């Protein structure tokens, strides 16, 4: 991965750092995509309800595993891919039992890394565990608001949440 710094010709370009990432160039995994119909600003009657919508490139929705509910089975990161439906990149995981799933890729995750979802596992990039088992002061992403509902907080690219306190049953 190469980092490109630009000349500070304007205030917007002064702090700009472009990253040429090592994203997978091929097609997404076929069993983990579904069609995404275009709305084009039309409602169910076909009438324009939002002006200036329409066109754009055809997109497929990637089915993302926001629950990470495959516990105690290690997975290998096969590749990091671009996702047109969100700002963050996605990682294709291959579990030891052969199942594949997409997750939102943390910033330092790369192909070949081994990750796991478990109750007591190592604190490292990509691992998933309950909030009660994570030490205070740790940066986390893809946080559930309610147990078994799926990640709802800190899912966008470059975002994280810091665990500062534990109250009640959480």
CA 164 to chain CA mean position, Å: 23
DSSP-assigned beta bridge partners for residue 79: 92
Rounded to two decimals, the pTM is 0.84
Domain boundaries, the chain: 21-34+57-170
Q: Compute how many other C-beta atoms are within 10 angstroms of the C-beta atom of residue 28.
A: 19
Q: What is the DSSP letter of 5?
A: E
What's domain 21-34+57-170's architecture? Beta Barrel (2.40)
Torsional sign, CA 26, 16, 154, 40: negative
Average pLDDT, 10 consecutive residues per value, the chain (170 residues): 81 81 91 95 96 92 96 97 94 97 95 95 94 94 94 95 88
* Phi/psi-derived region of residue 15, left when phi > 0, alpha when psi is between -120 and 50, beta in every other case: alpha
């Amino acid at each position: 991965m190469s980092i490109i710094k630009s000349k500070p010709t304007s205030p917007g370009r002064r702090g700009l750092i472009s990253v040429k990432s090592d994203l997978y160039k091929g097609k997404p995994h076929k069993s983990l995509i579904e069609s995404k119909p275009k709305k084009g600003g039309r409602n169910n009657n076909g009438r324009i309800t939002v002006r200036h919508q329409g066109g754009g490139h055809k997109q497929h929705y990637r089915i993302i595993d926001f629950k990470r509910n495959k516990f105690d089975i290690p997975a290998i990161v096969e590749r990091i891919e671009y996702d047109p439906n969100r700002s963050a990149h996605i990682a294709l995981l291959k579990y030891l039992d052969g199942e594949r799933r997409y997750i939102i890729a943390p910033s330092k995750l790369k192909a070949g890394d081994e990750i796991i979802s478990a109750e007591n596992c190592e604190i490292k990039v990509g691992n998933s565990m309950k909030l009660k088992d994570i030490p205070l002061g740790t940066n986390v992403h893809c946080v559930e608001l309610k147990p078994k509902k799926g990640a709802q907080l800190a899912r966008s690219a470059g975002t994280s949440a810091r665990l500062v306190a534990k109250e009640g049953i959480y």
